[in-house]
């Protein structure tokens, strides 16, 4: 008799859901961390731009090339990206919280099933 047949189908299903939720949670955490890193880089760029004179030459990256732009336009673009990333981070934090709650519920349910004969 194999191990798989010893585990009831409902419990197997719950274990699979738990594994899927854990993978989803990891993906959400990774995305959130990446966006937080991007926000940090934007903050550094904005900080450096504030130190420049208004007429200083400023370039922004578009694909694999640099294009000359105005300081004001680059600051506006960066602030817009920061707002977008901050909103995404908030959404991902909510998803992470919900996934974490669901994982805890499933773990408790699985543990309860394992304790009862």
pLDDT at residue 85, rounded to an integer = 97
What's the CA gap between 45 and 57, in Å, rounded? 14
Which are the contacts of 72, defined by CB distance < 8 A and separation ≥ 6?
A: 54
20: Cα separation from own chain's centroid: 17
pLDDT at residue 11, rounded to an integer = 87
Domain count, the chain: 1
pLDDT under 70: residue ranges of the chain? 1-5, 117
pLDDT at residue 1, rounded to an integer = 43
The CB-side HSE value for 22 (13 A sphere, CA atoms) comes to 9
Q: Is the dihedral of CA 106, 107, 112, 117 positive or negative?
A: positive
CATH code: domain of residue 7 = 1.10.287.370
Q: In terms of residue numbers, what domain contains 69?
A: 3-115
């Amino acid at each position: 008799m194999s191990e798989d047949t010893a585990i009831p189908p409902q419990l197997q299903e719950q274990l699979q859901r738990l594994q899927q939720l854990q993978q989803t949670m990891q993906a959400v955490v990774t995305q959130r961390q990446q966006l937080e890193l991007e926000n940090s880089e934007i903050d550094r760029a904005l900080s450096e731009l504030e130190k420049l004179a208004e007429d200083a030459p400023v370039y922004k990256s578009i694909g694999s090339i640099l294009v000359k732009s105005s300081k004001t336009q680059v600051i506006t673009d960066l602030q817009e990206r920061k707002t977008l990333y901050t909103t995404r981070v908030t959404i991902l934090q909510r998803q992470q919280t919900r996934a974490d709650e669901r994982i805890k519920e499933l773990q408790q349910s699985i543990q309860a099933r394992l304790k009862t004969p």
